[in-house]
Structure 1
């Protein structure tokens, strides 16, 4: 009888603990939520921001003064007609002014690069007491930028068009199928040759009249030597049609999914521990 009572109270305690854990986990997710944005090199990324959700009508009574920062430095700042942007983002970043009045302070990064990957935070500077300025945190966003990956098949004598994706691509390197060495195929500024031709307007490089020795891996690299794209070329004798297959990237789990997994693991560990304790009751 005493053992049954112990078990009853133990299960009541366990139930309350699990419910409390779920509530706490849900509250933590909502208060520390970081939005995630995923993009590929050369594309446009929009980092969401809404100042009305944090300031209501407070900021509407003063001129919009928005800041976007990383943990290291300020990326972009807009105050009325005055703008400032970090050197590495020159000409690539903006906060559309026509949307600010309605509360949208999203930052647009054009021609995103691998080096842009990281955490960004937005702030609104508003008038405080006694003519002081107060900086109010609005939103935290995690940006992940990935390179392009693809497979291509060509027959001997066909052309291969390599997408460079961005003006920040400075060279193309090649590794043969049975080789461990990388060789430079093209550098930005090189003149066109009999086999290599850079499109005058688009970010594309054409390798003409491919042959069996061209079979292997091509990498497009940026100024930091980071991969913009990787193309696996197969030169096949019987290939008569263009075949390009995009390699699907492994899905990066979102922050919410990661938190849910952690909560599930916590609950599972508690349940296992509880059954071990019951064994001794």
Structure 2
């Protein structure tokens, strides 16, 4: 009897933990993501979707004006992702006078290119954010926490934006936003824009071309001036010879 009780308790714990394990789902900012239900029962009455703070309206088709809609049997699509969409979701499925719940952890990623010296503004300080880490120095370190704010005098928190005042190549790297449980909400890969270097090279090339053109013009002017001077001297010499010949004996 005791053994059967233990087996039932173990089975209950396994079911409980599996039902409370969040399925990781990843999407790109401005893209779409699917929260898959993979539920084949055709007698589904309806579904409800919840974030940690509110119930979310789910349209029946993509044709509606909202960003969240049902696809297929009970999959949910979130389109035009923004950073504030990141976090935990619960999908409640109602069927045959019963219900089940599926949980998700939505992670959003993005890539940014920044020119040296420009301001870098990342709208990553969402409501669930607890800390931000970066590996720009070669190892992961915190650059912002909810309790202590920014950890660098080159950064500031501007209305939910983590801002680097003047971007340096050493700021390039990966920035991760974590919630209170250490789950990754947002990943932003920041790269130094090559456009600055290309512009610099173009400027150098333009300067070299301009210098060569100026040198050629100066040389041409010098040659023309020299030719004119020689021509005048030769002309004067010819006139003198002519004058002497007319004054002969």
TM-score where L is the length of structure 1: 0.39
Structure ID, larger Rg:
2
TM-score where L is the length of structure 2: 0.42
The answer to which structure, 1 or 2, has the higher relative contact order (CA under 8 A, 6+ apart) is: 1
